[in-house]
């Protein structure tokens, strides 16, 4: 019955002692000859010792279930017994008794009942030894159930947020498409601006190099002019003052100076042009920098959009998963409805069968009443016959007692006569032996 698992088989006194330790008043006779009510009471007490499920807690779901039915009296007892049997079967499987059935409740066998008592007591003692561990498991189970409820609430909130996000996405989809097109256009424009920026940077670099060359040339011209001025001063101090010669020199120097002035003016004009170009290039560089910053901000927005797309795909995956779970729940609900309809059909058939059975039982009861009345009459006749036979038996017993008394008196007289004759025989044998000279030993 217990398979490969072994538990000690307890004697009747040990079982009574164990139940007495739990506050249950049990007699050895009840254990030796168990009844249905007795084993139900003991099994319920064992179940309460381990799981804490009382008879009142078992009656609450039964009452709430039968309140919706029409014939409460018919189903109440059967449903209560089935629920108790279910809990006891789970308890028995924990005690390594896998073949516990309703027969063990309705028609208990003495040997099997003592074996079940031993297994249940063994499980209860084991649970008492592991009480701290079991309490921890119960607390952990309650925390897991609370966490499950919180997870279900979070899931509902997430589905609600997902529905809101999907609605908002559907609402924002035209604007997103418009922004997507604008983003592609801006990206293309920025790429062209970037190419123009590279060309402008190359042009700016070439102009800067040309500017540096002109500046170096200007500095060289100024240095040459300073050197010429010094030379002119030194020459003036050495030369003889000749008006014609001086005039020619002045004319020559004037022409040279005018050419130099023209050259300087041309260089200054080029410098101003280069400065204007540089300023324009600086403005272009500022515009390009602002475009680059705008491009960076757009890239950030693109990354944020990609993250939102990724979150959206995750939400879609979660939604598909939840949808699959929802479909499973729907199929389970449909199966439950089918089972409920089948159960209702079975219940209707059971009600019809119970009605037929009740009618048959009523008829059987009437027949049994009639048979009982006949048997009562026959019993009265039998009682009279038994009384007469008892009187006859008393008379016979009285006669037997008198006969026994007379027989006892006659037996006593016979015994007395026997011992008298035996004594006389021994005396005669002793006298005869003495006369014959023989030695006789009396026995």
Q: How far apart are CA 20 and CA 242, in angstroms?
A: 156
Give the number of other CB atoms < 10 A from CB of residue 271. 16
- The per-residue pLDDT for 241 is 54
Q: Between the ranges 185-194, 245-254, 339-348, where is the mean pLDDT highest?
A: 185-194
Q: Does residue 221 have a pLDDT over 50?
A: yes
The percentage of residues in the chain with a pLDDT greater than 70, rounded to a whole number, is 88
Instruction: Dig out the tokens for 426 from the structure.
Output: 């021994």
Quote the pTM value: 0.35
Q: What is the band of 4 on the pLDDT scale with cuts at 50, 70, 90? A: very low
Residue with tokens 């009656």: 59
Range 107-131 average pLDDT: 86
- The per-residue pLDDT for 418 is 76
Q: What is the band of 2 on the pLDDT scale with cuts at 50, 70, 90? A: very low
Q: Does residue 271 have a pLDDT over 60?
A: yes
Residue 318 or 121, more confident: 121
Contact 24, 45 (CB under 8 A): yes
CATH architecture assignment, domain 12-148: Orthogonal Bundle (1.10)
Give 16-51 pLDDT, tens digit per residue. 888 888 888 888 888 888 888 898 888 888 888 888
Q: How far apart are CA 245 and CA 257, in angstroms?
A: 17
- Alpha-carbon dihedral angle through residues 19, 21, 23, 26, given to the nearest 10 degrees: 30
Residue with tokens 């398979």: 3
Q: Does residue 68 have a pLDDT over 80?
A: no
Closest CA to 12 of 108, 91, 110: 110
How far the first Cα of the chain sits from its last, in Å, is 68
Residue 332 or 255, more confident: 255
Q: Does residue 440 have a pLDDT over 60?
A: no
What is the residue-averaged pLDDT of the chain?
78
Q: How far apart are CA 384 and CA 373, in angstroms?
A: 17
């Amino acid at each position: 019955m217990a398979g490969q698992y072994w538990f000690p088989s307890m004697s009747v006194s040990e079982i009574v002692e164990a139940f007495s330790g739990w506050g249950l008043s049990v007699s050895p006779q009840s254990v030796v000859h168990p009844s249905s009510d007795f084993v139900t009471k003991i099994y319920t007490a064992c179940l309460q010792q381990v799981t804490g499920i009382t008879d009142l807690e078992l009656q609450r779901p039964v009452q709430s279930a039968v309140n919706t039915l029409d014939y409460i009296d018919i189903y109440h007892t059967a449903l209560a017994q089935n629920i108790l049997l279910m809990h006891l079967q789970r308890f028995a499987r924990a005690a390594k008794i896998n073949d516990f059935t309703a027969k063990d409740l309705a028609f208990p066998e003495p040997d099997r009942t003592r074996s079940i008592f031993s297994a249940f007591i063994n499980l209860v003692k084991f649970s008492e030894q592991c009480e701290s561990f079991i309490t921890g498991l119960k607390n952990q189970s309650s925390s897991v159930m609370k966490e499950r409820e919180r997870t279900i609430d979070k899931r509902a909130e997430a589905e609600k947020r997902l529905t809101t996000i999907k609605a908002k996405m559907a609402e924002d989809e035209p604007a997103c498409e418009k922004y997507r097109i604008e983003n592609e256009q801006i990206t293309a424009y920025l790429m062209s601006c970037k190419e123009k920026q590279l060309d402008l940077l190359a042009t700016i670099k070439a102009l800067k190099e040309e500017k540096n060359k002109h500046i170096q040339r200007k500095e060289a011209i100024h240095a040459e002019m300073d050197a010429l001025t010094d030379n002119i001063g030194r020459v003036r101090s050495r030369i003889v003052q000749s008006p014609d010669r001086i005039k020619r020199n002045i004319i020559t120097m004037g022409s040279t100076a005018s050419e130099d002035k023209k050259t300087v003016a041309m260089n200054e004009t080029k410098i101003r042009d280069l400065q204007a170009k540089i300023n324009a290039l600086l403005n272009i560089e500022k515009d390009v920098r602002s475009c680059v910053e705008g491009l960076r901000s757009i890239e950030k927005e693109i990354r944020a959009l990609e993250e939102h797309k990724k979150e959206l795909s995750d939400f879609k995956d979660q939604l598909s998963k939840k949808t699959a779970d929802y479909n499973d729940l729907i199929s389970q609900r449909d199966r439950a409805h089918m089972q409920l309809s089948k159960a209702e059909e079975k219940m209707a058939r059971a009600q019809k069968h119970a009605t037929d059975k009740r009618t048959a039982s009523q008829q059987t009861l009437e027949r049994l009443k009639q048979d009982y009345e006949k048997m009562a009459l026959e019993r009265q006749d039998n009682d009279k016959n038994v009384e007469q036979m008892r009187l006859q038996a008393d008379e016979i017993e009285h006669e037997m007692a008198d006969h026994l008394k007379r027989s006892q008196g006659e037996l006593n007289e016979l015994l007395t006569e026997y011992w008298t004759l035996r004594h006389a025989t021994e005396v005669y044998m002793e006298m005869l032996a003495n006369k014959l000279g023989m030695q006789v030993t009396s026995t």
